[in-house]
Amino acid sequence: MNKMNFNDLNFVPFVSVDHMMKIILELGVENILTGIAGYIEEDFKRWELFDKTPRVASHSAEGVIELMPTSDGQVYGFKYVNGHPKNTKDGLQTVTAFGVLSDVNTGYPVLLSEMTILTALRTAAMSALVAKHLMPKNSQTMAMIGNGAQSEFQALAFKAIAGISKLRLYDIDPSATDRCAKNLAGLGFDIVKCNSEQMSVEGADIITTVTADKQYATILTDNMVGSSVHINAIGGDCPGKTELHRDILLRSKIFVEYPPQTRIEGEIQQLDKDYPVTELWQVMKGDIVGRDNDKQITLFDSVGFAIEDFSALRFIRDQLEKTGQYQNLDMLADPDDPRDLFGMVLRAAEPQSAKEA
């Protein structure tokens, strides 16, 4: 096991994909989801301390590449992430990511981590955390429309954090539904595989939409959604990409992470720019009531925000000493004299015996 020394500035702890998988297997998926959700809620309760900006996005016809930065004044963090729906056809992930934490006082990075898997975990943790605050009382059943790479993480998060035990699965690709149901078999769910969106939402307390196509889509039409439900809309996450009919939004109490970003990327890009929404940090702090009554439709218009990634990276960093799942990267130049960087390069050519002398 590696010995964690956060005061050693010569090396940067790096969590690879292999390390991340081993951390998950050692600690357990549901424990990690619950842990990340706790860190997110803790950070949302100190929302005012953070730098906040919409993510910096570079859009193309095929997808988007984004940087998501934030800082609480002591630690700076950012995530690099892409979203390319066409990748699936080429056997590639639609989303890949990595993230960094740095010490604000020195500017030195203190963690570099894969975030393809970690983003799936934090997205699921955030979804279930929000549902815990907004879903109807005694909710047990979730419809999940879109059974791709995010689906199992969502299901397990809702089980661990929100107490969901019944799943109604639908995807336009039946093999995706079969794979999801197979992966979740024996993990405590009552699973129904459905043959349409309409069938999946029947009797559901929570509806999760998590589709990948970059287009104005109508995964849910207004007639499909009755009262007394919570909608977890996580597929619409960039300009020109939505999942819900506009009329559903007009019937719902809408909750968002950061309005300046969500108005550009979320379902509410379909609405007027001043349409009222509720910020989730205010609900988590107890400043604003979430669900007003059991008959209401609540809608989490999820696009993902940098503070959630910051929280997930903090959580992983705090597990490294326990698990030892990381390696030290020689990323930072460390000359004997900070002003003599070129001299350090020259000395690299010296024979080892001269260096030791």
Catalytic residues: 237
CB 130 within 8 A of CB 232: yes
Pick the closest to residue 127 from 308, 318, 314 (CA basis): 308
Place of tokens 């066409």: 86
Contact partners, residue 286, CB within 8 Å, separation at least 6: none
Task: Measure the CA–CA gap between 238 and 233, rounded to whole angstroms.
Answer: 13
DSSP code per residue over 62-123: S-EEEEEEEE-SSEEEEEEEEE-GGGGGGT--S--EEEEEEETTT--EEEEEE-HHHHHHHH
DSSP code per residue over 297-354: EEEEE----HHHHHHHHHHHHHHHHHH---EEE--S---SSTT-HHHHHHHTTS-HHH
